[in-house]
Structure 1
Amino acid sequence: MPRIVALLRGVGGPTALKMPALREVLASEGLGEVETLQVAGNIVLDDGGRSPGEIAGVIRGAVRTAFGFDLPVIVRTHTELADAHARNPFAGAAEGRWVQTVFLAEPPAPEKKIVVPADYPEEAMLDGREVFVRYPEGIGGSKLQAAWFEKRLGVTGTVRNANTVAKLVALSA
């Protein structure tokens, strides 16, 4: 049975979470078969009959209560995640870690657009609840970070590179 993928935004540094503790907290909330990938807030779990919105709320509340951090949670079903991965127009254009997807909490308003300045080397494309980004010169020095997209789109998002998305698709199958 395909599973749900929850992406926590802002895990790391002062908001670092121990993945074994996170798994335990989420399992105690009735979210079964909880697995994590890496230490960046990538969670794969069974939905337990709950909607993606309910799951996001349960996870956000559990993290706030157990760890004291109010971190946004963006949820995708396995099918939605696999579809986003398949739609990424940059997926083979460069090293996987330099191709990223910004997963948005909701679709931006129709009038919101992504226009990358002509003097930026990056390419970006908004498609529904995802922004696909290619960083041909690397990510570290780029101005096109998640906050750049959030400000222009008015929607919360979290970023994962193409390698991580592929692993999450396989783990959630």
Structure 2
Amino acid sequence: MPKTVALIRGVGGPTALKMPELREVLASAGLGDVVTLQVAGNVVLDDGGRSPDEIAETIRDAVRTAFGHDLPVIVRSHSELREAHARNPFADAAEGRWVQTVFLDAAPTVALEVPAGIPEDAVLDGREVFVRYPEGIGGSKLQAGWFEKRLGVTGTARNANTIAKLIALSA
């Protein structure tokens, strides 16, 4: 049975979470078969029949209570994650770590307008923004927060390599 993927935004630095503790906290919150990937807030779990909104709220509440951090959570089913990856027009780029998907909590009601004269390419497709960073991500202005401000939604980014691993883990 395919699993659900929860992406916790903003994990790191002052809001770092220890993954063994996070798995324990989420299991205690009633989320079953919890697996984490990396230390960036990537969680694969059995949804137990809960809706994506219920899962997101359960995780957000559990993290807030246990760690004191109020971090947004974006949830996708295995099939939604797989379909998003398949729709990514940059997925075949040579550098998978420089191709990101910004997963949004809702489909924006405004169009995406990328500034002229920048090297990055970005495409909005439903609840995802696909971004290619040909010169690397670090110095780019087109980070997840940039998209959030312009589109009026909450989002969190993951690179193509991480998404491929999450698809495999949630299969």
TM-score interval for Structure 1 and Structure 2 normalised by the shorter chain? over 0.9
Match of 2:151 among 130, 150, 153: 153
**Structure 2: gaps spanning 5 or more residues:** none
- By how many angstroms is 1:93 displaced? 2.0
Looking at structure 1, the residues matched to 20 and 12 of structure 2 have their Cα atoms a distance apart, in angstroms, of 15
Q: Percent identity?
A: 80
Q: Secondary structure at the match of 2:33?
A: coil
Cα-to-partner distance string for 1:28-79 (whole Å, 9 max, x where unaligned)? 1110100000000000000011111100000000000000000000000000
- By how many angstroms is 1:171 displaced? 0.3
Contact 1:94 1:136 in 2 (8 A): no
1:51 matched residue in structure 2: 51
Alignment of 1:1-173 (within 5 A): 1-109=1-109, 112-173=110-171
Structure 1: which amino acid aligns with 2:117? D
Q: Which runs of 4+ in 1 moved over 6 A?
A: none
- By how many angstroms is 1:94 displaced? 3.2
Q: Secondary structure at the match of 1:20?
A: helix
Looking at structure 1, the residues matched to 157 and 25 of structure 2 have their Cα atoms a distance apart, in angstroms, of 24
Cα-to-partner distance string for 1:114-143 (whole Å, 9 max, x where unaligned)? 121221000000000000000000001001
- By how many angstroms is 1:92 displaced? 1.1
Structure 2: which amino acid aligns with 1:125? V
Q: Secondary structure at the match of 2:91?
A: coil
**Structure 1: gaps spanning 5 or more residues:** none
Structure 2: which amino acid aligns with 1:90? F
Q: What TM-score results when the alignment is normalised by the length of structure 2?
A: 0.99
Structure 2: which amino acid aligns with 1:144? L
Provide the aligned length of Structure 1 versus Structure 2: 171
Q: Secondary structure at the match of 1:139?
A: coil
Q: What TM-score results when the alignment is normalised by the length of structure 1?
A: 0.98
- By how many angstroms is 1:5 displaced? 0.1
Question: How large is the RMSD of aligned CA atoms in angstroms?
Answer: 0.6
